[in-house]
Structure 1
Amino acid sequence: MTTAPTPTPATGCPYRLDTTGTDIHGEAAALRALGPATRVLLPDDVPAWSVTDPSLIRRLLVHPYISKDARRHWPAHINGDIPETWVLRPWVDVINALTAYGREHTRLRRPLAAAFSPRRVRALTPQIDTITHSLLDDLQCSGPGEVVDLRARFAWRLPLMVANIVLGIPEHLHDPFRDAIGLLFATNLSPEAAQAAPARVYDLIGQLIDHKRRTPGDDVTSRLIAAHTEGTLTEQELADSLILLIGAGHETTVNLLDHGIVALASHPAQLALATSGEISWAQVTDEVLRHQAPIATIPARFAVREVVDEITGITFAAGDVLVINYAAAGRDPGSHPHRPDDFDITRTTTGDHLAFGHGKHLCVGAELARAEGRIALAALFATFPSLSLAVAPGKLAHLESFISNGHERLPAVLGPTRSARPHAA
C-alpha cells in the first residue's frame, strides 16, 4: 500500500488530496495533524478546506452560514470558473437535499424523511431478511473452497435489491442501475468519463420516472412523482432526489457491508463475541461505521459569509469551499482515546461517529442502512462460520475515490455452511 501524499504546512501550499483514495486513513491522519481544518486542493486544483475534527464538523454542519448550495454561495461556480468536465460537478450541480440550503433544504428533505421513517424501516425488515437469505442460498452453490467476490455477490447486491423495493424500480432496470451508479463516486475519471457517468444515470432515472408514472405503486418514486404533480418538486428536483437515494444511499450500505466483512473475518475473537450474542450486531455495525466511514470525504459546503469558529479560531472566508472528512472524524483520538485506529466492537464509544452526518443533515436512510448491516452481517457469518478472506486485508484494492471508502473486490473463501438463521436485533 502506498502512503498518503506528504503534507505541507497549513501556511504554505495546500495539501493536494489523493484522487485515487489509495490510503484514505493515512491521508486522514496527515490532514488531522495539520489542525481541525486545513487547506487542500481538490481535483483540478480547486482550493478548499478539509475539516477533520468531529466537534468542528458538528458545529459547521448546523451553522446557519454554512451552505451546501453552490449555485447561490460558491463564487467560482456562479462566475463559470469551474469547468463542465470537473469530476465533482455532479456533487454540486444536482438540486436535492444534498445541495440545498435553509428552507430549500427543509422542503427537499421532508418527503425523503417521511419515506424512511422508523415505522417504514421496521416494515422492511422481513423483506431485508428474505433478500439476505436468497443471496446466501445463491452463495451456497459455490464450493466450500472456492474463492468468491463477496462485494459483487453480496455487499453490492443486497442494498440494491432493497433499494429496488423501496423505490419501486422495475426488474429490467436493476442491472443498468447496478452498472451505472458506481461511476458517480469515482474521483479519478477522465473529463469525458466524468461527463458521461451522470448522463447515463439521468437517462435511467428518466426511464424509472416514465415507468412509475404509468404504473404507480406504494413506493418512494411514486410518492415523489406525486409531490411533483402537486407542485412541491420541480422536474429536476424529482430526478435529483432519486439520484440521491439510489446513489448515495446504496453506496453507503455497500461499503458498510464490505468493511464489516473484512473487519470481522480479520478479528475472529471479536466475531465470536458477536455470533455468541455477547455483543449486539447493532454495536458491531456502529463500530464498522466508526472505523471505516463508508463515505470518507463528502463535497461540498460553502461559507455564505465570513465564519469564525470561536473554539478553534479558524476563519472561513465568504465563498470558501469546505469538504467534510468523515474518515478522519471516526478515528479522532479525542473522541476515541483507546487505540482509535483499531477495530474494537467492545469499546464504549462505538456509536460516537459521524458516518451518517449530523443534526438536520443526518442521512435520512441511516436507520435503513443500519438495519441492513445488522441483518446481513449476522446472517452471513451464521451461514458461513468459517468464512475467511482470500487475501490479506492490506492487499485488497481500494476503490479509486476519495469519496467512497470501499474495495474494488472482496475475494473470500466461504467454507462449510450452517443453515441456522441468527437473530440480528
Structure 2
Amino acid sequence: MRPDDSLLVLDPTGSDAHAEHRALHARGPATLVDLLGVQAWAVSDPHLLKRLLVGKDVSKDPRAHWPDFAAVAPTWPLALWVSVRNMFTAYGGDHRRLRRMISPAFGARPVGALAPTVEALVTRLLDDIAETGDEVVDLREKLAFPLPIAVIAQLVGVPEDQRAGFRRLVDGVFTTTLSSEEATANAVSLYRLLDELIARKRVAPADDMTSFLIAARDEEGDARGLSDAELRDTLLLMISAGYETTGNAVDQAVTLLLTHPDQLAHVREGRVGWNDVVEETLRLEPAVKHLPLRYAVVDVPLPDGRVIPKGAPVLASYAAANRHPSWHPDPDAFDVARAGKEHLAFGHGVHFCLGAPLARMEVATALRLLFERFPDMTLAVPAEELRPVPSLISNGHQRLPVRLYGAG
C-alpha cells in the first residue's frame, strides 16, 4: 500500500492524541505533517526513529541545517523551541561541550543523594493535602507539579518568590494554542525572569547550578564556558524540562493506576515494583508526545522508498513510536508486568535526557508514598471527563481530581 502523501495537520489542542498516533502509524514510518504552519516529517516508527537519533543524518541546530529558519522563526509560535542556544539545539562539538558542563549534576551519586530530600518533600506535600480536610483534591496542583518544581528550584537555585512566575511562563512554552504574539510575549517575560535570577546569583552566589554556570561563564569565557545566551538558555532548559515532564509523568501514572485497579494490585501484592509502574507509564503515556525539531543533514531514504530531503524539519513523535505495533505486543494496554518496557520517553542517543534518573526517582517516590498514605483513593470524575492540557507537545491533564478516601 502506498503511504498517504497528504498533509496531516497535528492538533494543537492535543484533544485526541491516541487517534493521532494511529493516523501517523497508518501513513508509514514517517509522514509529512503540519506543525502550527511548518511542514515537517513526523517519524513514528521506533526503529527508524532510533536509527536517526543515534546517527549523524539529522541535527538539532537550525541555524546550520534548516534553510528556512531565519524566515520562519520570527512568526512561528514554537520559535523558542528551536531558537534557544543550549544543548537542546546544539550539534556535534558544541553539544558535547554544553552537555559536559551539566552532566555531573545528574550522575548516579548526586541523584542518589537527593533521595532523602525528595522523600521529605513528598511527605510534606501529602501532609498538606491531608490537613486540608478536603475529600476531593486536584493532585496535579497539590502533588504532581509542586514536587518537581521544588526539586529543580533547589538544584538551580530559584528563589521562592520566582517559582510561581517560572511555572506560569514555562506552561506557556508547552502550550501550543498561543498565537505568535502571545508566544513572543511569554518568551520575553520568561527571559526577564531568567535575567533577574542571574543578576541575583552574581550578587549572592550559592551552592546551586545557576551560581556554578555563572562562575564557569565569568571565569572561563566563551572558549570553554558558556556565552551569555547559552547561560540563559541552559537555565531555561533545566528549569522547564526539570518540572514539566516529571509533573506530567506523576499525573499520568496516578491516572493509569486509578483506572486500572488490577495493575495497582500487582504492586500492592509484590509482583512488581514502583519502578515497573514508572517505566510502563513512560512507555504508554510519555510526558512529551512530539518534540520539535531536528533537520536532515543529508537526504534521508525511508524504508518505503520515499526520501526526507536535506534541510527538511524532522519531528520526533515519541508517543506514537512508543505505541507502534511493531515494537510491543498489545501496545495500547497498560501492563506493569510487561516483559519489555523499552520506550523513547527520554529520547535516545546523544540527546538522551540527562534528568532521566532524577525524574524516575521523583515519580517512583511520589507514587509509593501517595498510595501508602491514601490506599482507598479514587478518581473524583469519570476518566473520560479528564481533559488534556492544550498542547501537542506536553502530555498531561488540566486537572486530576481524586477522592482521597474512596467513593464512599
TM-score normalized with structure 2 length: 0.95
Q: For 1:187 and 1:204, how far apart are their aligned partners in 2? A: 21
CA RMSD of aligned residues (A): 1.4
1:177-200 Cα shifts (integer Å, max 9, x gaps): 122210100111122211111111
The answer (yes or no) to whether the contact 1:177–1:204 under 8 Å persists in 2 is: yes
Q: For 1:66 and 1:154, how far apart are their aligned partners in 2? A: 38
Counterpart position of 2:346: 356
The answer (yes or no) to whether the contact 1:16–1:41 under 8 Å persists in 2 is: yes
1:270 shift after superposition: 1.4
Determine whether 1:287 maps to 2:280: yes
Determine whether 1:315 maps to 2:307: yes
The alignment covers a number of residue pairs equal to 401
Determine whether 1:407 maps to 2:360: no
1:397 shift after superposition: 0.8
Q: For 1:111 and 1:98, how far apart are their aligned partners in 2? A: 13
Counterpart position of 1:421: none
Pick one of 215, 219, 228 that aligns with 1:235: 228
Q: For 2:183 and 2:6, how far apart are their aligned partners in 1? A: 27
Q: For 2:306 and 2:209, how far apart are their aligned partners in 1? A: 41
Pick one of 132, 136, 161 that aligns with 1:147: 136
1:116-161 Cα shifts (integer Å, max 9, x gaps): 11111000000000000000000002336x2211101110110000
Describe the SS at the equivalent of 2:242: helix
Unaligned runs of 5+ in 1: 1-8, 417-425
Counterpart position of 1:50: 42
The answer (yes or no) to whether the contact 1:397–1:407 under 8 Å persists in 2 is: yes
Pick one of 207, 219, 222 that aligns with 2:208: 219
Describe the SS at the equivalent of 2:95: helix
Q: For 1:83 and 1:256, how far apart are their aligned partners in 2? A: 30
1:104 shift after superposition: 0.9
1:173 shift after superposition: 1.1
Q: Which amino acid aligns with 2:238?
A: L
Pick one of 118, 122, 127 that aligns with 2:112: 122
1:111 shift after superposition: 1.3
1:11 shift after superposition: 4.8
Pick one of 139, 148, 156 that aligns with 1:167: 156
Determine whether 1:71 maps to 2:63: yes
Describe the SS at the equivalent of 1:84: helix
Determine whether 1:334 maps to 2:326: yes
1:248 shift after superposition: 2.0
1:91-120 Cα shifts (integer Å, max 9, x gaps): 011011110111111111111211111111
Describe the SS at the equivalent of 2:392: coil
TM-score normalized with structure 1 length: 0.92
The answer (yes or no) to whether the contact 2:5–2:32 under 8 Å persists in 1 is: no
Q: For 1:12 and 1:65, how far apart are their aligned partners in 2? A: 23
The answer (yes or no) to whether the contact 1:296–1:326 under 8 Å persists in 2 is: yes
Q: For 1:240 and 1:172, how far apart are their aligned partners in 2? A: 21
1:269–1:142 CA distance, 2 compared to 1 (3 A): farther
Counterpart position of 1:273: 266
Pick one of 185, 188, 195 that aligns with 1:196: 185
The answer (yes or no) to whether the contact 1:85–1:194 under 8 Å persists in 2 is: no
1:201 shift after superposition: 1.2
Q: Which amino acid aligns with 2:310?
A: A
Counterpart position of 2:52: 60
The answer (yes or no) to whether the contact 2:4–2:27 under 8 Å persists in 1 is: no
Please identify, of 162-171 and 268-277, the stretch whose mean Cα deviation from structure 2 is larger: 268-277
Q: For 2:355 and 2:269, how far apart are their aligned partners in 1? A: 28
Pick one of 119, 125, 130 that aligns with 1:135: 125
The answer (yes or no) to whether the contact 1:275–1:382 under 8 Å persists in 2 is: no
Unaligned runs of 5+ in 2: none
More helix by share: 2
The answer (yes or no) to whether the contact 2:28–2:304 under 8 Å persists in 1 is: no
Describe the SS at the equivalent of 1:81: helix
1:342 shift after superposition: 1.2
Describe the SS at the equivalent of 1:409: coil
